[in-house]
Amino acid sequence: MNREPYNEFLLIMPEGTCKGFNDFESAKAYINIYYERAIDENIDDDDENDMTEIGSGDTRINICTKLGVEEGKCELYKTEEVINKISDELVFDTEKKEIVERLCEADIDFNIYDNNLDLLISDVEPIDIMETYGEID
């Protein structure tokens, strides 16, 4: 089971779907697009107009805070670290092999909740992708 992962990074979305990336900046861009779309949907759904308060990001901050509470957040991991954790912790070899093979593919089609891996993966240290926003105290 010494298969090399195709993707260096594994992005786990709030709903548990996974996507692989070989470039850190591409993963961050994907997350930004995800949140921009979510903000647009919330602005439309809640009948808020982001442009009414020129220079103010309050609407965006409120929507992002709400999304974080309701959905959770996107987490980025080193694919190899996730695979190592799965290899070390899972008991059944057939299940372990299948999951590792799926995570090594170029196009990852996988949901961590389908295999109850969320608690296992929570022991892996995520990569910090947050950038400072606003004023720093």
Domain total in the chain: 1
Print the domain residue range for 35: 9-121
CA distance 76 to 31: 10
pLDDT score, position 53 = 52
Specify if 114 maps to a domain.
yes
The answer to whether position 1 is within a domain reads no
CA–CA separation, 81 and 98 (whole Å): 17
In a domain, 127, yes or no: no
Average pLDDT per 10 consecutive residues for the chain, totaling 137 residues: 86 96 95 87 62 59 80 93 92 90 94 91 91 58
The pLDDT, as a whole number, for residue 22 is 97
d(CA 125, CA 123): 6
**Order of strands across the sheet with 18-21?**
18-21, 9-12, 75-78
Q: What is the pLDDT of residue 83?
A: 95
- Residue 128 forms part of a structural domain: no
